Homo-oligomer: A and B are copies of this chain.
Amino acid sequence: MTALSSPQITVEDYEQAAKTLMKALFIREKYSRLAYHRFPRTVAQFLRSAENQTWKEEDEVLPDVCPCPREGEDPYSIENIPDNLSYELQTKDGIVYVYENAEALSQNRPRSLPYPDLETFAIDLSHVLAMIVDGPTKTYCHRRLNFLGSKFYLHEMLNEMAELKELKGVPHRDFYNVRKVDTHIHAAACMSQKHLLNFIQTTYKTEADRVVLEKGGRKLTLREVFEHLNMDPYDLTVDSLDVHAGRQTFHRFDKFNSKYNPVGASELREIYLKTDNLIDGEYFARIIKEVSHDLEESKYQHAEPRLSIYGRSADEWDSLSKWFIQHKVHSTNMQWIIQVPRIYDIFKSKKLITNFAKMLENIFLPLFEATVNPQKHKELHVFLKYVTGFDSVDDESKHSDHMFSYKSPKPEQWTADENPPYSYYLFHMYANIMVLNNLRKERGLSTFQFRPHCGEAGSITHLVSAFLTADNISHGLNLKKSPVLQYLYYLAQVPIAMSPLSNNSLFLEYSKNPLREFLHKGLCVSLSTDDPMQFHYTKEALMEEYAIAAQLWKLSTCDVCEIARNSVLQSGLSHQEKKHFIGANYLKDGPEGNDIRRTNVAQIRMAYRHETLCNELSFLVDAVKTEAAIGTQPE
Chain A interface residues (CB < 8 Å from chain B)? 160, 164, 167-176, 194, 232, 234-240, 242, 246-247, 501, 504, 510-511, 535-540, 543-544, 546-548, 550-552, 554, 556-557, 600
Contacts and interface: CB of A to CB of B under 8 A. Distances in A.
- Describe A's contact surface by its main secondary structure: helix
Given A172-B234, A537-B551, 17 more contacts: A167-B237, A168-B240, A171-B235, A172-B235, A172-B236, A174-B238, A174-B239, A247-B554, A247-B556, A501-B551, A504-B551, A504-B552, A511-B552, A537-B543, A538-B538, A539-B539, A548-B551
A170 B237 contact: yes
A401 to B, nearest CB: 34
Contacts of A540: 538-539
Nearest to A547: B537
Contact of A172 (B171, B237, B501, B537): B237
Pick from A160, A240, A511 the residue with the most CB of B within 10 Å.
A240
Copies of chain A in the complex: 2
Nearest to A501: B551
Nearest to A238: B174
A204 B556 CA distance: 29
A110 B538 CA distance: 56
Contacts of A240: 168-169
Nearest to A232: B171
20 contacts: A164-B239, A168-B239, A171-B234, A172-B234, A172-B235, A172-B237, A173-B237, A174-B237, A174-B238, A237-B600, A504-B551, A504-B552, A536-B547, A537-B546, A538-B547, A544-B544, A544-B547, A548-B551, A548-B552, A552-B552
B246 A556 contact: yes
A547 B556 CA distance: 21
A439 to B, nearest CB: 45
Nearest to A164: B239
A612 B142 CA distance: 52
Pick from A537, A538, A556, A557 the residue with the most CB of B within 10 Å.
A537
A198 to B, nearest CB: 10
Contacts of A554: 246-247, 504
Nearest to A511: B511
Contact of A237 (B171, B234, B536, B548): B171
A194 B168 contact: no
A546 B548 CA distance: 11
B510 A551 contact: yes
Contacts of A246: 554, 556
A517 to B, nearest CB: 16
A234 B238 CA distance: 41
A49 to B, nearest CB: 38
Contacts of A235: 171-172
A547 B193 CA distance: 13
A220 to B, nearest CB: 23
Contacts of A600: 237, 239
A547 B546 CA distance: 13
Nearest to A201: B172
A544 B538 contact: yes
B552 A537 contact: no
A238 B170 CA distance: 11
A-B pairs with the 10 shortest C-beta distances?
Answer: A171-B235, A174-B237, A537-B547, A174-B238, A168-B240, A167-B239, A168-B239, A174-B239, A538-B543, A247-B554
Nearest to A546: B537
Contacts of A239: 164, 167-168, 170, 174-175, 557, 600
B164 A176 contact: no
Pick from A171, A234, A551 the residue with the most CB of B within 10 Å.
A551
Nearest to A537: B547
B552 A510 contact: yes
A175 B539 CA distance: 14
Contacts of A238: 174-176
Nearest to A156: B247
A174 to B, nearest CB: 4
Contacts of A538: 538, 540, 543-544, 547
A510 B235 CA distance: 36
Contacts of A247: 160, 554, 556
A546 B239 CA distance: 16
Contacts of A557: 239
Nearest to A557: B239
A551 B551 CA distance: 13
A163 B552 CA distance: 30
A550 B538 CA distance: 12
Contacts of A544: 538, 544, 547
Contact of A548 (B173, B232, B548): B548
A481 to B, nearest CB: 23
B551 A168 contact: no
Nearest to A171: B235
A406 to B, nearest CB: 45
A459 B323 CA distance: 65
A176 B539 CA distance: 11
